Amino acid sequence: MIYIVRHGETQWNTLGKIQGRQDIELNENGKNQALLLKERFKDVKFDKVFSSPLKRALQTAQIITKNKIIVDERLIERDNGLLEGKIKKEIKILPNFNDDNDTKYGVESLKSIKFRLDSFYTEILQKYPKKNILVVTHAGVGIYTKCYFVGEPKDGDYTNYKLKNGEVWIFEN
């Protein structure tokens, strides 16, 4: 099985700030969310554990398991360019985050994020069939992870594809 986990909550999550690649640590609630995940997974033996290099994901992985954690750059959150640190309602014209060609404010292209996630998941499925894999990552990465495993949403609404802090999705490996 492949267990996809979004990192625990950060202070910026509570403030509604766009994090992207800003390296924000977990807040106390985020650490507690990770402890709940540790309890949830107490009977799962992970064969491999992967994490985004950002502190919030790495801290979450370190709380969940004592396994060796493989940091993989492909799991880093989408680069949100000049939007990072801003609150959505402060931005007059948001980019269309689901448009392959919209890179307003220096936001990483959808093609780029899909390419790196396709590469990551194709590799782990080939290298570790029938293994228990933990992947700790971010909301934006989670959206396109779900696209990889179940396809694009038929109605074009990606909001149901967004992991909440400390949420888990499980896919067959």
**Cβ atoms of 166 and 38 closer than 8 Å:** no
Cβ neighbours around 37 below 10 Å, total: 23
138 assigned to active site: no
Please tell me which residue in 7, 9, 84, 108 is annotated as part of the active site. Answer: 7
Per-residue exposure over 129-162, b if at least 16 CB sit within 10 Å of its own CB, e if not: eeebbbbbbbbbbbbbbbbbeeeeeeeeebeebe
Of 9, 77, 84, 108, catalytic: 77
Alpha-carbon distance 48 to 51, whole Å?
10
Is 7 assigned a catalytic role?
Answer: yes
Helix (H) or strand (E) holding 136: strand 133-137
Q: How far apart are CA 82 and CA 138, in angstroms?
A: 18
Q: Which residues are catalytic?
A: 7, 77
